Amino acid sequence: MVVGMAATGIAPTGVGAARGAKTGANSNKMDPFGRIIDYLRISVTDRCNERCLYCMPEGYKGWERQPDHLTAAELIRIVRAAAGLGFRKFRLTGGEPLVRGDVPDIVRAMTEIPGVESIGLSTNGMKLAAQAQPLREAGLRTVNVSLDALDPEIYRRITGGDVARVLAGIRAAVAAGFERVKLNCVLMRGVNERELWPLVLFAAAHGLPLRLIELMPVTTTEVLTERNFMACGEAMRVLEQRDEMAPQPDRKLGHGPARYFLLKQTGALVGFIGALTNQHFCDQCNKMRLTADGKVRPCLGNHIEVDLRSALRRGADDTVLRELLETALRLKPWEHQFRNQYQPCRPMTAIGG
Protein backbone atom coordinates (compact mmCIF):
# COMPACT_ATOMS: atom_id res chain seq x y z
CA MET A 1 0.00 0.00 0.00
CA VAL A 2 1.39 3.37 -0.96
CA VAL A 3 0.19 5.94 1.51
CA GLY A 4 -0.26 9.56 0.55
CA MET A 5 1.03 12.40 2.69
CA ALA A 6 -2.40 13.32 4.02
CA ALA A 7 -3.05 9.86 5.42
CA THR A 8 0.20 9.08 7.14
CA GLY A 9 -0.63 9.77 10.75
CA ILE A 10 2.93 10.77 11.47
CA ALA A 11 2.09 13.65 13.75
CA PRO A 12 4.48 13.23 16.67
CA THR A 13 2.99 11.33 19.57
CA GLY A 14 4.45 9.67 22.63
CA VAL A 15 8.21 9.77 22.79
CA GLY A 16 8.37 11.66 19.51
CA ALA A 17 6.16 14.43 20.81
CA ALA A 18 8.23 14.66 23.97
CA ARG A 19 11.31 15.17 21.84
CA GLY A 20 9.38 17.53 19.58
CA ALA A 21 9.43 17.55 15.82
CA LYS A 22 11.82 20.21 14.58
CA THR A 23 9.90 22.49 12.27
CA GLY A 24 11.65 23.25 9.02
CA ALA A 25 14.30 20.62 9.72
CA ASN A 26 13.80 18.92 6.40
CA SER A 27 16.82 20.33 4.68
CA ASN A 28 18.52 17.58 2.73
CA LYS A 29 19.03 14.48 4.79
CA MET A 30 17.39 15.35 8.10
CA ASP A 31 14.02 13.90 9.07
CA PRO A 32 11.34 15.90 10.91
CA PHE A 33 12.81 14.79 14.23
CA GLY A 34 16.31 16.03 13.53
CA ARG A 35 17.79 12.62 12.82
CA ILE A 36 20.36 12.50 10.03
CA ILE A 37 19.13 9.98 7.46
CA ASP A 38 22.01 9.02 5.20
CA TYR A 39 21.68 5.25 4.90
CA LEU A 40 19.61 3.48 2.21
CA ARG A 41 18.98 -0.26 2.33
CA ILE A 42 18.01 -1.60 -1.06
CA SER A 43 16.10 -4.82 -1.66
CA VAL A 44 17.36 -5.90 -5.06
CA THR A 45 14.94 -8.84 -5.25
CA ASP A 46 12.20 -10.41 -3.16
CA ARG A 47 13.29 -13.89 -4.33
CA CYS A 48 15.31 -16.17 -2.09
CA ASN A 49 17.04 -19.55 -2.18
CA GLU A 50 16.23 -20.25 1.49
CA ARG A 51 13.00 -20.36 3.44
CA CYS A 52 13.68 -19.04 6.90
CA LEU A 53 10.99 -19.79 9.45
CA TYR A 54 10.80 -16.16 10.58
CA CYS A 55 10.88 -14.60 7.13
CA MET A 56 9.05 -16.57 4.44
CA PRO A 57 5.48 -17.51 5.28
CA GLU A 58 4.82 -21.19 4.62
CA GLY A 59 3.64 -21.67 1.03
CA TYR A 60 4.34 -18.02 0.25
CA LYS A 61 3.32 -17.09 -3.28
CA GLY A 62 3.04 -13.33 -3.15
CA TRP A 63 6.15 -12.59 -5.19
CA GLU A 64 6.43 -9.27 -6.91
CA ARG A 65 6.03 -9.65 -10.66
CA GLN A 66 9.49 -9.84 -12.25
CA PRO A 67 8.79 -6.83 -14.52
CA ASP A 68 8.03 -4.82 -11.38
CA HIS A 69 11.55 -5.35 -10.03
CA LEU A 70 13.83 -2.42 -10.60
CA THR A 71 16.39 -2.98 -13.32
CA ALA A 72 20.05 -2.36 -12.52
CA ALA A 73 19.85 0.93 -14.47
CA GLU A 74 16.80 2.03 -12.45
CA LEU A 75 18.51 1.12 -9.18
CA ILE A 76 21.51 3.18 -10.15
CA ARG A 77 19.31 6.17 -11.04
CA ILE A 78 17.76 6.04 -7.58
CA VAL A 79 21.13 5.65 -5.85
CA ARG A 80 22.41 8.67 -7.75
CA ALA A 81 19.40 10.72 -6.68
CA ALA A 82 19.81 9.55 -3.07
CA ALA A 83 23.52 10.37 -3.08
CA GLY A 84 22.65 13.81 -4.46
CA LEU A 85 20.40 14.28 -1.48
CA GLY A 86 23.07 13.33 1.03
CA PHE A 87 22.75 9.56 1.39
CA ARG A 88 26.23 8.14 1.90
CA LYS A 89 25.84 4.52 3.02
CA PHE A 90 24.10 1.84 1.03
CA ARG A 91 23.36 -1.81 1.65
CA LEU A 92 22.11 -4.33 -0.89
CA THR A 93 19.74 -6.88 0.57
CA GLY A 94 16.55 -8.75 -0.26
CA GLY A 95 15.31 -11.45 -0.43
CA GLU A 96 18.62 -12.98 -1.20
CA PRO A 97 20.55 -10.43 -3.26
CA LEU A 98 22.95 -13.01 -4.69
CA VAL A 99 20.19 -14.89 -6.52
CA ARG A 100 20.35 -11.88 -8.80
CA GLY A 101 23.31 -12.34 -11.12
CA ASP A 102 24.16 -8.67 -11.66
CA VAL A 103 25.02 -7.61 -8.11
CA PRO A 104 28.76 -7.09 -8.83
CA ASP A 105 27.77 -4.87 -11.79
CA ILE A 106 25.39 -2.88 -9.59
CA VAL A 107 28.11 -2.46 -6.95
CA ARG A 108 30.66 -1.34 -9.54
CA ALA A 109 28.28 1.24 -10.96
CA MET A 110 27.43 2.51 -7.48
CA THR A 111 31.09 3.08 -6.61
CA GLU A 112 31.28 5.58 -9.47
CA ILE A 113 28.49 7.76 -8.10
CA PRO A 114 29.78 10.86 -6.30
CA GLY A 115 28.77 10.82 -2.65
CA VAL A 116 28.52 7.03 -2.29
CA GLU A 117 30.92 6.30 0.57
CA SER A 118 30.11 2.78 1.61
CA ILE A 119 28.36 -0.20 0.04
CA GLY A 120 27.49 -3.28 2.07
CA LEU A 121 25.65 -6.52 1.40
CA SER A 122 23.37 -8.69 3.53
CA THR A 123 23.31 -12.30 2.42
CA ASN A 124 22.38 -15.76 3.62
CA GLY A 125 25.82 -16.84 2.37
CA MET A 126 24.60 -19.70 0.17
CA LYS A 127 26.15 -18.23 -2.96
CA LEU A 128 28.87 -16.23 -1.28
CA ALA A 129 31.79 -18.63 -1.78
CA ALA A 130 31.82 -17.99 -5.53
CA GLN A 131 30.77 -14.33 -5.32
CA ALA A 132 32.96 -12.94 -2.53
CA GLN A 133 36.02 -12.14 -4.64
CA PRO A 134 34.15 -10.56 -7.59
CA LEU A 135 32.10 -8.49 -5.16
CA ARG A 136 35.19 -7.29 -3.35
CA GLU A 137 36.84 -6.40 -6.64
CA ALA A 138 33.70 -4.52 -7.69
CA GLY A 139 34.06 -2.29 -4.62
CA LEU A 140 31.81 -3.89 -2.00
CA ARG A 141 33.17 -2.99 1.42
CA THR A 142 31.24 -4.95 4.03
CA VAL A 143 29.24 -8.17 4.23
CA ASN A 144 26.69 -9.34 6.79
CA VAL A 145 26.01 -13.07 6.71
CA SER A 146 22.97 -14.63 8.36
CA LEU A 147 23.91 -17.60 10.51
CA ASP A 148 21.18 -18.80 12.86
CA ALA A 149 22.81 -22.07 13.86
CA LEU A 150 25.98 -24.10 13.34
CA ASP A 151 24.39 -27.47 13.77
CA PRO A 152 23.51 -28.62 10.21
CA GLU A 153 20.15 -30.10 11.25
CA ILE A 154 19.05 -27.06 13.21
CA TYR A 155 20.29 -24.76 10.45
CA ARG A 156 18.30 -26.73 7.89
CA ARG A 157 15.19 -26.72 10.07
CA ILE A 158 15.35 -22.92 10.37
CA THR A 159 16.35 -21.97 6.82
CA GLY A 160 15.94 -25.00 4.57
CA GLY A 161 19.57 -24.46 3.53
CA ASP A 162 22.98 -26.07 3.91
CA VAL A 163 25.17 -24.59 6.63
CA ALA A 164 28.35 -26.00 5.04
CA ARG A 165 27.79 -23.72 2.04
CA VAL A 166 27.29 -20.73 4.32
CA LEU A 167 30.48 -21.49 6.24
CA ALA A 168 32.36 -21.75 2.94
CA GLY A 169 30.90 -18.38 2.01
CA ILE A 170 32.05 -16.84 5.28
CA ARG A 171 35.56 -18.21 4.76
CA ALA A 172 35.61 -16.81 1.22
CA ALA A 173 34.44 -13.41 2.47
CA VAL A 174 37.20 -13.29 5.07
CA ALA A 175 39.76 -14.34 2.46
CA ALA A 176 38.50 -11.70 0.02
CA GLY A 177 39.51 -8.99 2.49
CA PHE A 178 36.26 -7.13 3.10
CA GLU A 179 36.60 -4.28 5.58
CA ARG A 180 34.12 -6.04 7.84
CA VAL A 181 32.27 -9.35 7.88
CA LYS A 182 29.53 -9.65 10.49
CA LEU A 183 27.30 -12.54 11.47
CA ASN A 184 23.56 -12.14 12.09
CA CYS A 185 21.45 -14.53 14.12
CA VAL A 186 17.71 -14.18 14.77
CA LEU A 187 16.84 -15.24 18.31
CA MET A 188 14.17 -17.91 18.74
CA ARG A 189 13.55 -19.50 22.07
CA GLY A 190 13.47 -23.27 21.86
CA VAL A 191 14.66 -23.20 18.23
CA ASN A 192 18.24 -21.93 18.23
CA GLU A 193 18.69 -20.98 21.87
CA ARG A 194 21.22 -23.78 22.41
CA GLU A 195 23.15 -22.66 19.34
CA LEU A 196 23.96 -19.27 20.84
CA TRP A 197 27.06 -20.34 22.70
CA PRO A 198 28.53 -22.34 19.76
CA LEU A 199 27.88 -19.28 17.58
CA VAL A 200 29.72 -17.06 20.07
CA LEU A 201 32.70 -19.42 20.04
CA PHE A 202 32.65 -19.53 16.24
CA ALA A 203 32.51 -15.73 16.03
CA ALA A 204 35.39 -15.39 18.51
CA ALA A 205 37.51 -17.99 16.73
CA HIS A 206 37.13 -16.15 13.43
CA GLY A 207 37.31 -12.64 14.87
CA LEU A 208 33.87 -11.76 13.46
CA PRO A 209 31.26 -9.69 15.32
CA LEU A 210 28.02 -11.58 16.00
CA ARG A 211 24.71 -9.75 16.18
CA LEU A 212 21.73 -11.27 17.92
CA ILE A 213 18.44 -9.99 16.56
CA GLU A 214 15.01 -10.07 18.17
CA LEU A 215 12.20 -11.56 16.08
CA MET A 216 10.22 -8.80 14.46
CA PRO A 217 6.63 -9.04 13.16
CA VAL A 218 7.64 -8.37 9.58
CA THR A 219 6.01 -11.46 8.12
CA THR A 220 3.00 -13.49 9.06
CA THR A 221 4.82 -16.73 9.73
CA GLU A 222 3.89 -19.25 12.38
CA VAL A 223 7.16 -18.78 14.23
CA LEU A 224 6.19 -15.27 15.28
CA THR A 225 4.64 -16.32 18.57
CA GLU A 226 5.24 -15.06 22.07
CA ARG A 227 6.59 -18.47 23.02
CA ASN A 228 9.28 -18.29 20.34
CA PHE A 229 10.15 -14.67 21.00
CA MET A 230 13.44 -14.36 22.83
CA ALA A 231 14.31 -10.92 24.12
CA CYS A 232 17.87 -9.64 23.88
CA GLY A 233 17.90 -9.46 27.69
CA GLU A 234 17.19 -13.19 27.87
CA ALA A 235 19.97 -13.98 25.38
CA MET A 236 22.31 -11.82 27.45
CA ARG A 237 21.51 -13.84 30.54
CA VAL A 238 22.28 -17.05 28.62
CA LEU A 239 25.69 -15.70 27.61
CA GLU A 240 26.42 -14.23 31.05
CA GLN A 241 26.34 -17.74 32.49
CA ARG A 242 29.42 -18.51 30.40
CA ASP A 243 31.42 -15.33 30.24
CA GLU A 244 31.70 -11.84 31.64
CA MET A 245 30.16 -9.25 29.34
CA ALA A 246 31.61 -5.77 29.17
CA PRO A 247 29.41 -3.13 27.50
CA GLN A 248 31.06 -1.28 24.63
CA PRO A 249 28.89 1.85 24.46
CA ASP A 250 31.22 3.60 22.07
CA ARG A 251 31.64 0.66 19.73
CA LYS A 252 30.00 1.42 16.39
CA LEU A 253 30.48 -1.28 13.80
CA GLY A 254 28.79 -0.07 10.69
CA HIS A 255 25.60 1.93 10.59
CA GLY A 256 23.08 -0.21 12.47
CA PRO A 257 21.41 -0.02 15.88
CA ALA A 258 23.29 -2.86 17.63
CA ARG A 259 24.54 -2.44 21.21
CA TYR A 260 27.85 -4.22 21.57
CA PHE A 261 29.37 -6.22 24.41
CA LEU A 262 32.82 -7.76 24.66
CA LEU A 263 32.90 -11.23 26.16
CA LYS A 264 36.01 -11.08 28.26
CA GLN A 265 37.21 -14.70 28.21
CA THR A 266 36.31 -15.67 24.65
CA GLY A 267 37.06 -12.24 23.15
CA ALA A 268 33.81 -12.38 21.16
CA LEU A 269 32.15 -9.14 20.22
CA VAL A 270 28.38 -9.58 20.42
CA GLY A 271 25.85 -6.98 19.34
CA PHE A 272 22.20 -6.99 20.39
CA ILE A 273 19.47 -5.65 18.13
CA GLY A 274 16.38 -5.33 20.28
CA ALA A 275 13.78 -3.71 18.06
CA LEU A 276 10.99 -4.87 20.37
CA THR A 277 12.43 -4.49 23.85
CA ASN A 278 14.78 -1.53 23.46
CA GLN A 279 12.54 1.50 24.00
CA HIS A 280 15.18 3.75 22.47
CA PHE A 281 15.65 1.62 19.36
CA CYS A 282 14.43 4.33 16.99
CA ASP A 283 16.17 7.31 18.61
CA GLN A 284 19.23 7.10 16.38
CA CYS A 285 17.56 5.71 13.26
CA ASN A 286 19.52 6.78 10.19
CA LYS A 287 17.93 4.81 7.37
CA MET A 288 15.22 4.40 4.79
CA ARG A 289 14.55 1.42 2.56
CA LEU A 290 14.00 0.91 -1.14
CA THR A 291 11.72 -2.04 -1.89
CA ALA A 292 12.38 -4.54 -4.66
CA ASP A 293 9.57 -2.94 -6.67
CA GLY A 294 10.85 0.58 -6.32
CA LYS A 295 9.00 2.09 -3.33
CA VAL A 296 10.86 4.09 -0.74
CA ARG A 297 9.89 3.00 2.71
CA PRO A 298 10.87 5.42 5.48
CA CYS A 299 10.39 2.84 8.27
CA LEU A 300 10.39 -0.97 8.32
CA GLY A 301 7.60 -1.03 10.92
CA ASN A 302 5.18 1.33 9.19
CA HIS A 303 3.26 0.93 5.93
CA ILE A 304 4.14 4.32 4.47
CA GLU A 305 5.73 4.01 1.01
CA VAL A 306 6.55 6.48 -1.74
CA ASP A 307 6.52 5.15 -5.29
CA LEU A 308 9.69 5.92 -7.25
CA ARG A 309 9.34 3.21 -9.87
CA SER A 310 6.20 4.70 -11.44
CA ALA A 311 7.90 8.09 -11.58
CA LEU A 312 11.01 6.56 -13.13
CA ARG A 313 9.00 4.74 -15.75
CA ARG A 314 7.11 7.93 -16.57
CA GLY A 315 10.50 9.50 -17.37
CA ALA A 316 11.13 11.48 -14.16
CA ASP A 317 14.46 13.27 -14.01
CA ASP A 318 16.83 13.25 -11.03
CA THR A 319 15.22 16.36 -9.55
CA VAL A 320 11.85 14.61 -9.36
CA LEU A 321 13.46 11.52 -7.86
CA ARG A 322 15.18 13.66 -5.22
CA GLU A 323 11.86 15.36 -4.42
CA LEU A 324 10.20 11.98 -3.94
CA LEU A 325 13.02 10.85 -1.67
CA GLU A 326 12.59 14.07 0.30
CA THR A 327 8.87 13.38 0.57
CA ALA A 328 9.69 9.98 2.07
CA LEU A 329 12.12 11.65 4.45
CA ARG A 330 9.41 14.07 5.60
CA LEU A 331 7.06 11.14 6.17
CA LYS A 332 9.49 9.20 8.32
CA PRO A 333 7.69 8.41 11.57
CA TRP A 334 9.34 8.81 14.93
CA GLU A 335 9.23 5.11 15.72
CA HIS A 336 8.15 1.73 14.39
CA GLN A 337 4.75 0.21 15.16
CA PHE A 338 5.99 -3.24 16.14
CA ARG A 339 4.78 -2.87 19.71
CA ASN A 340 1.30 -1.78 18.57
CA GLN A 341 -0.16 -4.99 17.11
CA TYR A 342 1.55 -4.18 13.83
CA GLN A 343 0.20 -6.26 10.93
CA PRO A 344 2.77 -6.62 8.14
CA CYS A 345 1.20 -6.07 4.71
CA ARG A 346 4.09 -7.51 2.73
CA PRO A 347 7.09 -9.56 3.75
CA MET A 348 10.53 -8.31 4.66
CA THR A 349 11.95 -9.99 1.56
CA ALA A 350 10.27 -7.36 -0.59
CA ILE A 351 11.01 -4.49 1.76
CA GLY A 352 14.67 -5.29 2.38
CA GLY A 353 15.82 -6.45 5.79
Interface with ligand SF4 (CB under 6 A): 48, 50-52, 55-56, 94-96, 124, 146, 159, 349
Print the SS3 string covering 46-66. Answer: CCCCCCCCCCCCCCCCCCCCH
| Least distance between ligand SAM and beta carbon 172 (Å) | 16
Residue 213, contacted partner among ligand SAM, ligand SF4, none, CB below 5-8 A by kind: ligand SAM
| Least distance between ligand SAM and beta carbon 323 (Å) | 29
Among the listed ranges 105-113, 211-219, 254-262, 335-343, the one in contact with ligand SAM (CB under 6 A) is 211-219
Other Cβ atoms less than 10 A from the Cβ of 170: the count is: 22
Report if residue 213 touches ligand SAM, rule: CB under 6 A.
yes
Nearer to ligand SAM, 29 or 136 (CB): 136
Residue 51, contacted partner among ligand SAM, ligand SF4, none, CB below 5-8 A by kind: ligand SF4
CA atoms of 180 and 310, how far apart (whole Å): 36
Structural contact between residues 140 and 118, judged by C-beta atoms closer than 8 angstroms: no
Nearer to ligand SAM, 294 or 301 (CB): 301
Taking CB positions, which residue lies at the least distance from ligand SAM?
353
Backbone region of residue 254 per phi and psi (left: phi > 0; alpha: psi in -120 to 50; beta: other values) = left
Would you call 295 helix, strand, or coil by DSSP? strand
CA–centroid distance for 154 within its chain: 23
CA–centroid distance for 188 within its chain: 18
Report if residue 56 touches ligand SAM, rule: CB under 6 A.
no
Report if residue 258 touches ligand SAM, rule: CB under 6 A.
no
CA atoms of 279 and 16, how far apart (whole Å): 12
Quote the radius of gyration of the chain (alpha carbons, Å). 19
Residue 228, contacted partner among ligand SAM, ligand SF4, none, CB below 5-8 A by kind: none
Report if residue 94 touches ligand SAM, rule: CB under 6 A.
yes
- Pick from 39, 54, 229, 261 the residue near ligand SAM by CB under 6 A: 54
| Least distance between ligand SF4 and beta carbon 108 (Å) | 23
Among the listed ranges 111-119, 121-129, 149-157, 166-174, the one in contact with ligand SAM (CB under 6 A) is 121-129
CA atoms of 179 and 228, how far apart (whole Å): 34
Among the listed ranges 130-138, 175-183, 215-223, 254-262, the one in contact with ligand SAM (CB under 6 A) is 215-223
Give burial (CB, 10 Å; 0-12/13-18/19+) of 177.
exposed
Report if residue 90 touches ligand SAM, rule: CB under 6 A.
no
Q: Which amino acid is at 262?
A: L
Residue 215, contacted partner among ligand SF4, ligand SAM, none, CB below 5-8 A by kind: ligand SAM
Report if residue 300 touches ligand SAM, rule: CB under 6 A.
no
Report if residue 268 touches ligand SAM, rule: CB under 6 A.
no
Farthest CA pair distance, the chain: 59
| Least distance between ligand SF4 and beta carbon 124 (Å) | 4
Q: Classify residue 282 by its DSSP letter.
A: T
Instruction: With CA atoms as reference, report the closest residue to 321 among 38, 92, 83.
Output: 83
Report if residue 195 touches ligand SAM, rule: CB under 6 A.
no
Structural contact between residues 48 and 124, judged by C-beta atoms closer than 8 angstroms: yes
Instruction: With CA atoms as reference, report the closest residue to 143 among 175, 105, 191.
Output: 175
For residue 39, the cross-strand partners are 89, 287
Nearer to ligand SF4, 70 or 213 (CB): 213
Cβ neighbors of 237 (< 8 A, separation 6 or more) are none
- Pick from 10, 183, 216, 324 the residue near ligand SAM by CB under 6 A: 216
Using CB under 6 A, list all residues that contact ligand SAM: 48, 54-55, 93-94, 96, 122-124, 146, 184, 186, 213, 215-216, 218-219, 348-349, 353
